[in-house]
Amino acid sequence: MGLVQSDSIDRNRRGHSRFRNHVLCNNQVQGEAATEWCKLVVSKTHAIEILSVLITSLVLGYIGVIAGTNLIAIDTPPPGSLHVKVVARQFYWTFEYAPNSSITFPNGTTRQFPNGTSFQNTLFVSVGEVVDLEIVSLDVAHSFFIPQLGIHIDAIPGHDNRYWFEADTPGQYIIECTQFCGTGHYTMIGTLVVVP
C-alpha cells in the first residue's frame, strides 16, 4: 500500500501544476486558446534561453580576447633582449650566445662576441638584462630548472621552447635537470652567474 503525499510539491507559486504546460501543449482537446497560450509560453522560454546564451557568449568572448592579448604580451620578450640558445644533451648544458652578444664576466671584464660564443654549464647574464632563452634538446627529454628564480621549462627533442626572464639580484644560481635523462642525470648541473 502506497503513501499519500500532498500535491504542494507539484505546484508552482501560482498554484498551477508543474505538469500544466506539458498537458496543455500536448493535449489536442484543449482548443485554440490553449494552443495560443502554449505558443506564448514556448516563445518566452526560447527568448530567455537565447538571451542567456548570447550574454554568456559575449562575456566569455571578452574574457578570451583579454586573456589572449595578455598571453601574447607576456610571452613576447622586450626588444633588445639577449638571445641565448640552451642546448641540453646527456649530461650537460650548452649556452650558445647570438652574434654580437656582449657578456660581462664575474671579474668585471666585458667582451663583445661578433660571431657569438658558447659556454658549457655556465650562463652569464648581467643584472637587469632581459634574457630570451630558446631551450632545445638533442637527445632525450630534459628539464631546465633554476629553483631560486622559479624557472622550469622542458627541453624536448624536436621542439623549441621559449622563455624570457630578467634577473635583478647578482649571484650564482644552480641550473638543474629535473627530468630523468639517463645514468649520468645527477651530473647535469649548471650555473647561472648574474653579474652586477
pLDDT tens-digit series, residues 2-55: 555 554 555 555 555 554 555 445 544 455 555 665 666 666 777 788 889 999
Let me know if residue 55 belongs to a domain.
yes
Please report the pLDDT score of residue 47 as a whole number. 78
pLDDT over 90 percentage in the chain: 45
Is the four-CA dihedral 138, 140, 145, 151 of positive or negative sign?
positive
86 neighbors 136 (Cβ within 8 angstroms): yes
Choosing from 56, 75, 94, the residue where a domain stops is 75
95 CB-contact burial (10 Å; exposed 0-12 / middle 13-18 / buried 19+): buried
Phi and psi of 53, rounded to 5°? -65, -40
**Does the structure show a pLDDT above 80 at 174?**
yes
Range 76-93 average pLDDT: 90
At residue 143, the pLDDT reads 94
Q: CATH number, domain at 93? A: 2.60.40.420
pTM above 0.75, yes or no: no
User: Residue 128 sits in which domain range?
Assistant: 82-195
